[in-house]
Amino acid sequence: MALIVQKFGGTSVGTVERIEQVAEKVKKFREAGDDIVVVVSAMSGETNRLIGLAKQIMEQPVPRELDVMVSTGEQVTIALLSMALIKRGVPAVSYTGNQVRILTDSAHTKARILSIDDANIRADLKAGRVVVVAGFQGVDEQGNITTLGRGGSDTTGVALAAALKADECQIYTDVDGVYTTDPRVVPQARRLNKITFEEMLEMASLGSKVLQIRSVEFAGKYNVPLRVLHSFQEGPGTLITLDEEESMEQPIISGIAFNRDEAKLTIRGVPDTPGVAFKILGPISAANIEVDMIVQNVSHDNTTDFTFTVHRNDYLNALEILKQTAANIGAREATGDTNIAKVSIVGVGMRSHAGVASRMFEALAKETINIQMISTSEIKVSVVIEEKYLELAVRALHTAFELDAPARQGE
């Protein structure tokens, strides 16, 4: 008998009919003898609807009151799913984050989990009940309702699995696992049977939308085996684990991630003096803008060019700050470009294989795709290219690193 935490997202519980389907799936696991804790999101569209209501009152809603409001979405889902299970003869009980006592800090709309009191859940499991918990929410020391930010239900599921020392945390979504890349871009993309936390973390941070970064970080920290599964299709999904099995068939590259949401900023003719990088990036950081890749060119005539990337949503604000910085430090000009994209290859196999980066660059060169920036780590290589070449680059790299699924007979 296993203890399994299952998380179902908004589309999986988007209608009463789908909630009934989820109840059927949970019932099968319960009948197999497993102890089940289910974490659910609000029904799809419900959180946006609630935020929309709040914005009709205030353009910038008070964070504390917004949390009180949006947390009701999950409360509806846990009650409906518990009813659907009870209707099927499966004893079930629902809990809000406050009732479990998922203790968080007080950062409203983006709180972080500090601890979980699992006593009630364990007692219910021992009594044979399925426990249904509201994702995305908790409570601070003062008793205020808090929410965990985007992807918070994934984080709730993983945190509960860690607290309960569950055998597995299953994340049910609208895809049947983690793929070598987005199948909409590369139809030959393959579902991975297994991937490491490290690889998944890189892929999530580099643009793969299957799992939220915080949940993968949490799972890796507490070694919670994660499995990504399709909500309504049978299949083994993808297991995310610490295990780095060395085998003859271990691929060098596990996947290719990409991100269209990047923008590039360049400040030219910067006086090449100590501390200049801080003078450029300090004001950007002070505006709470995250910088991704950075390149500083070799100095000529005691001046240098400095280029970095930010999220496209931050582009206009960052460019305005950079123009002001250019004026302040006597740089020649500040310019920007939003027509870029980032493509990355990821794989723990890189550690033991030389020449991976050059193989990547060769594949892009064959397609006459110019590389504007390069960033590397132990298990990834990222490049910035023109956005119009993104899909061509992903397909070329997928083939170059032998990730394409074999063609079926007759194709």
pLDDT for residue 350: 87
- Show the tokens assigned to 48: 């946006």
Confirm whether residue 312 is marked as ligand binding. no
Confirm whether residue 184 is marked as ligand binding. yes
Residue 45 · residue 53 · CB < 8 Å: no
Smallest CA-to-CA distance from 202 within 376, 390, 397 is with 376
Confirm whether residue 10 is marked as ligand binding. yes
Confirm whether residue 174 is marked as ligand binding. yes
Distance between CA atoms of residues 14 and 22, nearest Å:
11
Angle (CA) 293-296-297 rounded to 5° is: 135
Smallest CA-to-CA distance from 268 within 294, 239, 287, 296 is with 296
Distances 390 to 16, 182, 237, 376, 387 between C-alpha atoms, Å: 39, 12, 27, 19, 5
**Which residue in this structure is represented by tokens 């409906």?**
80
Residue 64 · residue 144 · CB < 8 Å: yes
The CATH homologous superfamily for domain 245-410 is VC0802-like (3.30.2130.10)
The CATH homologous superfamily for domain 3-174 is Acetylglutamate kinase-like (3.40.1160.10)
Q: Structure pTM?
A: 0.83
Confirm whether residue 131 is marked as ligand binding. no
pLDDT for residue 140: 97
Write out 236-283 in H/E/C secondary structure. Answer: CCEEEECCCCCCCCCCCCCEEEEECCEEEEEEEEEECCCCHHHHHHHH
Terminal C-alpha separation, the chain: 44
Instruction: Provide Rg for the chain, Cα atoms.
Output: 24
Mean pLDDT by 10 residues, the chain (411 residues): 94 96 96 96 95 94 96 97 98 97 95 95 97 97 94 92 96 90 91 91 80 86 93 91 58 90 94 90 94 86 91 95 95 95 92 87 97 92 96 96 70 39
- H/E stretch holding 198 reads helix 197-205
Confirm whether residue 74 is marked as ligand binding. yes
Smallest CA-to-CA distance from 139 within 127, 128, 148, 126 is with 148
pLDDT for residue 174: 83
pLDDT for residue 204: 83
Confirm whether residue 399 is marked as ligand binding. no
Angle (CA) 169-172-173 rounded to 5° is: 140
Confirm whether residue 29 is marked as ligand binding. no
Confirm whether residue 308 is marked as ligand binding. no
Q: What is the arrangement of strands in the sheet containing 380-386, beginning at the earlier edge strand?
A: 255-259, 340-346, 380-386, 373-377
Confirm whether residue 55 is marked as ligand binding. no
Smallest CA-to-CA distance from 302 within 257, 255, 270 is with 270
Confirm whether residue 35 is marked as ligand binding. no
- Show the tokens assigned to 282: 């300090």
Find all residues with CB under 8 Å of 254, minimum gap 6, and list them.
Answer: 180, 192, 195, 196, 199, 203, 346, 347, 348, 349
Confirm whether residue 210 is marked as ligand binding. yes
Smallest CA-to-CA distance from 99 within 89, 82, 90 is with 82
Q: Which residues pair with 159 in a beta bridge?
A: none
Q: Do domains 3-174 and 245-410 have the same CATH topology?
A: no
Per-domain residue ranges for the chain?
A: 3-174, 245-410
Residue 102 · residue 67 · CB < 8 Å: no
